[in-house]
Chain A
Amino acid sequence: GAGVSQTPSNKVTEKGKYVELRCDPISGHTALYWYRQSLGQGPEFLIYFQGTGAADDSGLPNDRFFAVRPEGSVSTLKIQRTERGDSAVYLCASSPTSGGAIYTQYFGPGTRLTVL
């Protein structure tokens, strides 16, 4: 079946601009996660959704970062006033909360964000 998809695959923006990154989880997965991966590092947790609500946003670095999941499926990560330090690969993962693969996270290919 279809996996997690993320758009765009690459995004280049200028410092100070606003960007939106989209994640389409696997159909039926109620849990959704955003991670950020800097060059040479492992992914770092940003935020977790259970359904429509953000159950844990402790990884968001500051208030320029915000994420929504209004209908409990697609999620959008929003970054305001981008800074060069925001440049990274932004990964999305989803997981089921019932069934045989319960709580196993499946990742999308990521969006590579470059802030000039």
Chain B
Amino acid sequence: DAKTTQPPSMDCAEGRAANLPCNHSTISGNEYVYWYRQIHSQGPQYIIHGLKNNETNEMASLIITEDRKSSTLILPHATLRDTAVYYCIVRVPGSSNTGKLIFGQGTTLQVKP
């Protein structure tokens, strides 16, 4: 699985958009970009995933560059409850491999009032 690079920490004001970047310059054509977050003392929580098109769900939006070498997770109106470690992971989903997630250090997002 391709390696990802994320900034170790970011701050965001409550109510503003939080934009979390991720670099995955060695991503291969069949690898998806997944985002998870982990709130303190809880298990990781799935947020969103995508292959090449931008994706949106009730939690967030995922913007993937045209060359797929980087992506941005957008939380449109951050709240204090969004304070967490955010992990960007690239992997190939499917029965052809184990599908295990390889977590890096992630980005610690601190939402401030």
Contact = CB atoms under 8 A, between A and B. Distances in A.
Interface residues of A, number: 27
Contacts, number: 56
Contacts of B106: 42
Interface string A41-62: 1111100101000011001000
The range of chain B's interface size is: 20 to 34
A65 interface: no
- Majority DSSP secondary structure for residues of B touching A: loop
Interface stretch (B15-23, B38-46, B65-73, B76-84): B38-46
A109 B99 contact: no
A42 B103 contact: yes
B93 A45 contact: no
Interface string A104-116: 1111111000000
Contacts of A91: 43-44
A16 B98 CA distance: 32
B100 A33 contact: yes
Contact of A31 (B87, B99, B103): B99
Contacts of A102: 93
Contact of B101 (A45, A108, A109): A45
B46 A105 contact: yes
A102 B43 CA distance: 19
A45 B94 contact: no
Contacts of A103: 93-94, 99
A104 B46 contact: yes
Interface of B: 34, 42-46, 49, 85, 87, 93-95, 98-106
